[in-house]
Structure 1
Amino acid sequence: MVLRYAKFWWRSGNAHGLHSPFVFNLYCFVIHHKGHHAAYDQVEALRKNLLKDSTLLEVQDFGAGSHTGNTKTRKISAIAKSAAKPRRLGQLLFRLAQHFQPSTVLELGTSLGLTTSYLALANPNAQVITLEGCPALAAQARKNFTEMGLNNVEVVQGNMDQTLAQTVARLDRLDFVFFDGNHRYAPTLQYFETCLPKAHEGSVFIFDDIYWSSDMAKAWQKIKQHPQVLLTVDLFYIGLVFFRTNQPKQHFTLRF
C-alpha cells in the first residue's frame, strides 16, 4: 500500500491545471469542502457509542470470494474500529451524495451502517438500499438506523452474489452506487456489470479501496477502460465513475 500510494502521489495533482469545469467545481467545493454539517455530529455520535459497545456478534464474512461465509465472534467495538469507514471518507461520501442529490442510492456492504447513515442523511428524500451478507451485522445496522431516526433506509440481507441482481432488477435507475462489498477482481467487475444497465447520464458510481490489493487495482483499471465510463476521478482511497456523454473520455488523479 505504501508503494502504491507513493506512485499515486507522484502522478497525482490538485486544482491547478484542472481544465474540466465539472471536475474543478467538484474538487474544490465538494471533495475539499472544509465546512461542517450537522449530520457529521449525528453519525460520529453513533460511531462513538459503537466504539464502546462490547456486545458480541457472530460475524459471517461473505467477502473476498467466499460463498458460504466464515463465521467468527467479534465485539461491535472491534468492528467499528477496524471495518467501518473512517470519518474522513464517510463525510466525503455525505458531501458527494448531498451535492448530486440522488433519488436512488445503492450501497454494497452495510457493516454497522455508519456510511449508510451518512448517505441517508445527505438526502432524507432518497431511497437508500444497502446490501449486507451477515445476518448479525444486518440486524445491528437496522437497530442503528432506528436509533438514528432514519426512515429512508432498506437493508437487504443475504449473499450479495444473489441479492444484488434481484435488487437492481426492481429499480428503474441507479443514481448513486457505493461499491464496498467484495475486494476481488472478478466480483468487483461482476457487481459493476450488474449495476451498469441502470446507470444514466447523471449517475455516480463510487468504488472503495481501489488500491487495497493488486486485484482491486486491476479491477479499477478495467472499469476505467469500459466504453460507457467517460469520466473517472482517482482519489486513491476511492474512485469516482461518471457517465457524462457531453465530454470526451477523461481520467483525473487527484490528491485528497
Structure 2
Amino acid sequence: MSRIRHVHGFGIHSPSAYRFAREVITSRRRTKECKELGRSLKGVPHMVSRLGELYFRISLHVKCDIWLDWRGSGDVYKLYVELTGRQIRFVSSDECFEWSQFGKNEHLVVRATVDDHTETFYEEVINHANEHSILILEPSSNRKAFCDLWKKILDDDRTGVTFDLYYCGIVFFDKYRPKQNHIVNF
C-alpha cells in the first residue's frame, strides 16, 4: 500500500518527466515482437522480461546509439534492445572497450549491476556522459551497495532527473531540466 501514491507517475509535475513515466516506465503497451520474444525465452524470470521490455522502450524513446552493459547478464537484454530495429551498438563489459570509442554526441545508455566496485565505474560514466546519456542501475545481492551509490547519485550535482523504480534506478545527465528524484512503482 505504501507504493500506491507512486503509480503511473502520480505527483510528477514536470511534463517531460511525467511523459517519460507514463509512456516509457509504466506503459503496458507491448509490441508484437516483445510478446513473441517473451514467449520464446523459457526459464527467464518474470522481472527480467519486464526489465527487458522497459529497456526496449527506453532505447526507442531516447533513440539510443550505444548500449553499454556492465557486469550484467546482458544476453537477454541485448535481445530486447535489438528489437528496436535501430542500428544500436551493444557493448558488453566482457568485451574490451575504451571510453574514447564513444562519440561526444552519441546517445549512450549504460546498464550496470551494482556491486562493491560500481562506484569507480560510476565516476568513469559521469566523466564521459553527455546530455543524451542515461545510466540504469540494478541492485545485485548486495542491496546496501546499491542504496549507498543511489544516495551518492542523488546528492551529485553532475546528475539530473532520476527515477527510482524499486527494481532499478534511472539517471539522466540532462542539465536543462531541474534536478529531481521521482519514485515510480514499476
Which TM-score bucket, shorter chain as reference? Answer: 0.7 to 0.9
Q: CA deviation at 1:111?
A: 2.7
Q: CA deviation at 1:167?
A: 2.9
Aligned residue number for residue 41 of structure 1: 35
Q: Which has the larger radius of gyration?
A: 1
- Amino acid across the alignment from 2:181: H
Task: Give the one of 119, 122, 125 matched to 1:195.
Answer: 125
CA distance in 2, matches of 1:217, 1:39: 34
CA distance in 1, matches of 2:73, 2:141: 20
Aligned residue number for residue 3 of structure 2: 9
Task: Confirm or deny: 8 A CA contact 2:67 2:108 kept in the other structure.
Answer: yes
Q: Which runs of 5+ in 1 are unaligned?
A: 1-5, 52-79, 133-155, 157-162
Q: Is the aligned partner of 1:177 residue 2:171?
A: no
Instruction: Give the match's secondary structure for 2:3.
Output: helix
Q: Is the aligned partner of 1:27 residue 2:21?
A: yes
- Amino acid across the alignment from 1:92: L
RMSD: 2.6
Cα 1:244/1:112, change in 2 over 3 Å = closer
Task: Confirm or deny: 8 A CA contact 2:70 2:111 kept in the other structure.
Answer: yes
CA distance in 2, matches of 1:211, 1:20: 33
CA distance in 1, matches of 2:74, 2:138: 16
Task: Confirm or deny: 8 A CA contact 2:134 2:170 kept in the other structure.
Answer: yes
Q: Is the aligned partner of 1:255 residue 2:172?
A: no
Q: CA deviation at 1:239?
A: 0.6
Q: Is the aligned partner of 1:117 residue 2:94?
A: no
Task: Confirm or deny: 8 A CA contact 1:229 1:241 kept in the other structure.
Answer: yes
CA distance in 2, matches of 1:251, 1:112: 26
Task: Confirm or deny: 8 A CA contact 2:64 2:88 kept in the other structure.
Answer: yes
Choose between structure 1 and 2 for higher RCO, CA contacts under 8 A separated by at least 6 residues: 2
Task: Confirm or deny: 8 A CA contact 2:6 2:185 kept in the other structure.
Answer: yes
Cα 1:111/1:211, change in 2 over 3 Å = closer
Cα 1:45/1:130, change in 2 over 3 Å = farther
Query: Deviations for 1:192-249, whole angstroms, at most 9, x for unmatched residues?
Result: 1112222111211111128951121111111221111021111111111011211222
Query: Deviations for 1:88-137, whole angstroms, at most 9, x for unmatched residues?
Result: 111111111111111111111353611111122224311111223xxxxx
CA distance in 2, matches of 1:85, 1:167: 31
- Amino acid across the alignment from 1:172: G
Output the TM-score relative to the length of structure 2. Answer: 0.85
Task: Confirm or deny: 8 A CA contact 1:210 1:239 kept in the other structure.
Answer: no
Count of paired positions? 184
Q: Is the aligned partner of 1:18 residue 2:12?
A: yes
CA distance in 1, matches of 2:165, 2:157: 21
Aligned residue number for residue 99 of structure 2: 168
